[in-house]
Amino acid sequence: MSLTVPQHLRATLILGLPLIGSNMAQMLLHITDSVMMGRYGVTEFAAVVLGTSTFFVTFILGGGFGQAVMPMVASALGRGDEVQVRRDARMGLWLSILYGVLVYPVFWFSGALFLALGQQPEVAALTQQFLRIAGLGMVPALVVVAMRSYLSALDRTQVVLWSTIAAVLVNIAIGLPLIFGLFGLPEMGVRGAAISSVAVQTLNMTVLAVYAARLPELRRFHLFQRFWRPDWAAFKQVALLGAPIGATGFAEAGMFQATAVMMGWIGTIELAAHGIALEVAAMSYMIHLGVSSAATVRVARYQGMGDLPNLHRAAKVAIGLSVVVGCAVVVIYLSLPQFIISLFLSEANPATSQIIAYGTGLLALAALFQFGDAMQAVAIGLLRGMRDTRVPMLLAVISYWAIGLPAGYILAFPLGLGGHGLWLGLAFGLAVAAALMMTRFWRRVPR
């Protein structure tokens, strides 16, 4: 049965709103860390900005295996193949755990890396302290991605939302006393923020795993039954689909991380303002990412069913929804920049006024790349629903690293625009990615 546009919109919102809420709550985990550290000290705040962005870039590369579970499980459900649902989800968990273990040495020796990249010694040392602890949360964080993908493909998105909201509250409850030394606890600064992060990721993983294993409606999939047994055919399929997904996210996140490194060359004030503006921009991106995930599930199911008319209409509704959200976000960024940035800072901090002034300009540029960011996110989700990940990976690398990052460097340093030039480069790279990937999807999908 062919659904109408309002019916598609309703179905997308029912699936997508909990995912949007979950994404935003996940982002709040990082924002609460930033707010707490922003009130602790400028150097510590810069270190946590650098540390969390490094963790995030590494996490994104491995998160592709967990994200691959979503279209694979949704497509298997569309075909009515429940055995394949279990096989794909289980091997997605295997790959996520394996990656998380293998990358931990990167965090342990990160201080030397940051010094080599030109960061100030004090910032590099504090960042290493943070990452040596926070890196222990990589495995649970990646397992959460795989579990979220599995549950989302099964239309169980409410639990994903509520578990993430609970994680935010726990992060504040643990983080504040550990960072500032409240209630008789030692003052741990960046190490306290890292401990809180690991505890929260572990809690979130446990909640989702128990839910998937114990809910009566999901027991028929036997997700954890004989979990130790390998399934090499499914392992290979998840790896082949997930590795390009991770590389695509890594290309984008790496562009932002490289921009953060170059912003550190300009100054600590500029890096702190960059961190705040990026946190704010990432929050609105979580909305588009939720729409993108909903589009992945719906397109994958319609493809599994062979229902092209509904596939086309579902794609158009997801695109339209992100455009509307983008318009609202632009208005907010341009209307309330100083208020938004001040939420992250203490008035007692002598650098606050400088950070606010610099960050206001960055938020205006964030409004500029809002639509490019939205369209590339939705296009990637649509392509994943079609299980098309290799060519989008190449398009991402070209857009972000061959176009966006060099353009930002040239604008920032040879042309003297500084940090604002770096962000103009981001906007350009995202716009190119959006155009290329959206064209790819509409040429790939059968008429």
pLDDT value for 1: 64
pLDDT at 414 (0 to 100): 92
At residue 139, the pLDDT reads 94
Q: Are residues 289 and 318 in contact, defined by beta-carbon separation less than 8 angstroms?
A: no
- Residue 2's pLDDT is 73
pTM above 0.75, yes or no: yes
Which among 253, 220, 283, 274 has a CA at the least distance from the CA of 380? 253
Q: What string of DSSP letters covers 185-229?
A: ----THHHHHHHHHHHHHHHHHHHHHHHHH-GGGGGG-TTTTTTS
Query: pLDDT value at position 54?
Result: 85
* Identity of the residue numbered 184: G
Give me the pLDDT at residue 391, please. 94
Q: Enumerate residue ranges in the chain where pLDDT < 50.
A: none
One-character DSSP codes across 344-369: TS-TTSTTHHHHHHHHHHHHHHHHHT
- The per-residue pLDDT for range 22-46, each reduced to its tens digit, is 777 777 776 677 777 777 777 787 7
The confidence score (pLDDT) of residue 436 equals 96
**Please, are residues 224 and 86 in contact by the beta-carbon 8 Å criterion?**
no
Three-class DSSP category at 146:
helix
Q: What pLDDT score does 446 carry?
A: 74
Residue carrying the six token digits 């709550």 = 25
- Tell me what pLDDT residue 341 has: 86
DSSP conformational letter for 70: H
